[in-house]
Chain A
């Protein structure tokens, strides 16, 4: 499900960091060398390289990358090199402090991570920003969005497989009643979506469809311009089929129709070790064209090379 390719035998972190240092040395930067190393190492290996680099050269690898690379290539490289929890913390901080109603990055992070992963992000957030994630989200959002987003990023969902069918039925009905009354930000809707376990929610949404005929997201489309409804649909989509939601974000980003061009960077960096392969499959089946082709068409130079490498393309 991951697209990251790591060679069977790799150099030691010491050798890798020396290669990277060589890539920075002298006039200009050897971007291909950087890609050949970093784009083919997993999170643990990248961490070891960063540590070796700090020990050998007395500074953070990220600092050198910042200095020696530019633009979208630099952005992706920095995000990619970070540990997943640090990366998510930085993305969350940006999303929270520059929040606007169409920004759904916090929802991505809250819903497409396991309970433990989300907690590690919150811990990394303390270290990086000297505040709690929920503190910043609460302070920068208001009204219905705050009601939804704060419990969403504070959730520590039960991860067992048990499902209570009786509860699924009654909560499906509850959701249906509230949606019919257009009470989209009702406390009970928020409660169900932000506290129930994912298996429980999947059962609830199935019940909804069986009982009432429409998938719940269809009933939440009454106003296509309503950002809150879009947020609710995103929560539901990310809990049920994250790869489908993320494919759409990538697709819109490539068509430059989405609200942020950095979405491609974010999703490649955060999913290359998770489910980018699945996302590629969805892309192919939806668009009849492989994702790599669209990337080659829409991106350029070193950024394109890095994206393709992380997509698992055996080009270089």
Chain B
């Protein structure tokens, strides 16, 4: 019969159902079980995920230990990221895409949601860290069909003023629509006109383009791009970053989230805490009918949970 403490310890060390570990629980049980090795022994015998019977001992399962390393270090990782210069963070995330096979979506995120000056800062930091330019590495390391769009996005230095030419925006909405019809929606990120529009126009101009698209063709451009995820993500990041970030956060909470998806939670919370976390909370509530703070409380643990709440501007649970 498992004691309350055994259950708590099992939960704390299972690495399941929640991100991070409940450090306070662990510390308290370590204290309670001092000079009671029989309790620890009984726990080992019952906790089959971490321990298996081998000779006269219950040996530690390396696989699970590795899994725990990740969970224990979520707090470490988020703290280091938080302390880093924002431009260095962006440069490192970009380099993980070019050199460590991380998903290209992270590059789209960094290139499309930062301000023009912050993207320039990230490019400078990239040169300092890696002795190559960002566009050089993206063009060289990513040689597939997405490269045109990605190189264009990271090279952009968009105008950030108020001036928009609505006639041009209208005709560009039409161009994009024709391109989707003729090129086929899954190849849209290879189309020169679409790449030109998405990678050079100002964000305000693009919002106008997307608005005219809906008016003229009845559907949101994102819907018509569902078979080209990178193009679709680009449009979402440029049009409504708060909705995009909410989606990234939410995929970390789901059952069976991948390592990349759970890292997305830390990445978004750290990089947006000072920028637009309020808008993200609003967008999250609209999209998922739940408060972000509540979901963080439910789905994450320990110091990791507390740091996420702090980054979200919320009091501790």
Contact = CB atoms under 8 A, between A and B. Distances in A.
A157 B152 CA distance: 15
Given A132-B157, A134-B156, A156-B133, A139 B196 contact: yes
A130 B127 contact: no
B151 interface: yes
A132 B158 contact: yes
Contact of B123 (A126, A135, A139, A156): A156
B194 to A, nearest CB: 12
B136 interface: yes
Most B CB contacts (10 A, CB to CB) among A119, A139, A158, A191 go to: A158
A155 B200 contact: no
Contacts of B132: 158, 197
Contacts of B131: 158, 160, 162
A187 B159 CA distance: 27
Interface stretch (A72-80, A146-154, A308-316): A146-154
A150 B136 CA distance: 14
A126 B159 contact: yes
B139 interface: yes
Contact of A130 (B134, B151, B156, B161): B161
A268 to B, nearest CB: 29
A134 B135 CA distance: 15
B192 interface: yes
A126 B160 CA distance: 8
B155 interface: yes
A138 B196 CA distance: 6
A119 B157 contact: yes
Interface in A118-144: 119, 122-123, 126, 130-135, 138-139
Interface string B123-154: 11001000111111001100000010001100
Nearest to A135: B200
Contacts of B127: 156, 158-160
B163 interface: yes
A119 B121 CA distance: 12
Interface size class on chain B is: 20 to 34
Contacts of A134: 155-157, 199-200
A130 B163 contact: yes
Given A130-B159, A130-B163, A132-B157, A150 B200 contact: yes
A42 interface: no
Given A151-B151, A151-B155, A155-B155, A132 B133 contact: no
Given A126-B161, A130-B161, A155-B155, A197 B133 contact: yes
A85 to B, nearest CB: 13
B202 interface: yes
Contacts, number: 83
Nearest to A125: B159
Contact of A135 (B120, B151, B159, B160): B159
A195 interface: yes
Contacts of A160: 127, 131
Interface in A89-140: 119, 122-123, 126, 130-135, 138-139
A196 interface: yes
Nearest to A123: B157
Contacts of B140: 191, 195
Interface string B103-123: 000000000000000001001
B135 A195 contact: yes
Contacts of B202: 131-132, 135
Nearest to B157: A122
Interface string A256-281: 00000000000000000000000000
Given A119-B120, A162-B131, A195 B136 contact: yes
B157 A138 contact: no
B201 interface: yes
Contacts of B139: 191, 195
Nearest to B201: A135
B192 A154 contact: no
A191 B131 CA distance: 17
B157 A158 contact: no
Interface string B252-280: 00000000000000000000000000000
B189 to A, nearest CB: 14
A197 B134 CA distance: 11
Contact of A195 (B120, B133, B159, B196): B133
A80 to B, nearest CB: 27
A156 B135 contact: yes
Interface string A151-183: 100111111101000000000000000000000
A139 B200 CA distance: 9
A174 to B, nearest CB: 11
A139 B165 CA distance: 13
Interface in B194-243: 196, 199-202
B54 to A, nearest CB: 49
Given A134-B200, A135-B201, A146-B192, A154 B157 contact: yes
Of B131, B155, B163, most A-chain CB atoms within 10 Å: B155
Lowest 4 A-B CB distances belong to which pairs? A154-B155, A195-B136, A130-B163, A135-B200
Interface of A: 119, 122-123, 126, 130-135, 138-139, 146, 150-151, 154-160, 162, 187, 191, 195-197
Given A131-B163, A160-B127, A195-B140, 17 more contacts: A119-B157, A122-B157, A126-B160, A130-B159, A134-B200, A135-B200, A138-B196, A138-B200, A139-B196, A150-B152, A154-B152, A154-B155, A156-B123, A158-B127, A187-B147, A191-B139, A191-B140
30 contacts: A122-B157, A123-B157, A126-B159, A131-B159, A131-B202, A132-B158, A132-B159, A132-B200, A132-B202, A138-B196, A139-B200, A146-B192, A150-B152, A154-B152, A154-B157, A155-B133, A155-B155, A156-B120, A156-B123, A156-B127, A156-B135, A158-B133, A160-B131, A187-B147, A195-B133, A195-B136, A195-B140, A195-B151, A197-B133, A197-B136
